[in-house]
Amino acid sequence: GENVEQHPSTLSVQEGDSAVIKCTYSDSASNYFPWYKQELGKRPQLIIDIRSNVGEKKDQRIAVTLNKTAKHFSLHITETQPEDSAVYFCAAFKGGSQGNLIFGKGTKLSVKP
């Protein structure tokens, strides 16, 4: 089955700096890669996603890149703000009749003012 590795597990940056979180997946058939943000005690919320036919996608300060050959994808947050502090999860979806979404273990991002 699919396995998703996420690094780093914790990340501390200064406000205004950039943050990068990386994930690798094992199943080359995976074709959909969302990123979720989870604030303490709250539900995960989708912040950006990318499909396997696209190499990069950007939404304001957030961007995701995908390297299908190397089977890894990354989340980039620029000009970080204290409200970006949260746990971020990457995930990979393998299509087909038995498809499901497998999550990485999460990255706890702390943005210091």
Partner 1 sequence: DSGVTQTPKHLITATGQRVTLRCSPRSGDLSVYWYQQSLDQGLQFLIQYYNGEERAKGNILERFSAQQFPDLHSELNLSSLELGDSALYFCASSASGQDSPLHFGNGTRLTVT
Interface residues with partner 1 (CB under 8 A) are 31-32, 34, 36, 42-46, 49, 51, 89, 93, 95, 97-106
Residue type, 101: L
CB of 39 to partner 1, least distance (A): 12
Both tokens of 88, joined, read 């971020």
CB of 92 to partner 1, least distance (A): 10
CB of 16 to partner 1, least distance (A): 28
Name 72's bridge partners. Answer: 24, 67
**C-alpha atoms less than 13 angstroms from C-alpha of 30 in its C-beta half-sphere:** 29
- Which is closer to partner 1, CB of 28 or CB of 45? 45
- Which is closer to partner 1, CB of 58 or CB of 79? 58
CB 35 within 8 A of CB 75: yes
- Which is closer to partner 1, CB of 51 or CB of 61? 51
CA distance 89 to 79: 20
CB of 77 to partner 1, least distance (A): 19
- Which is closer to partner 1, CB of 69 or CB of 97? 97
Neighbours of 17 (CB within 10 A): 13
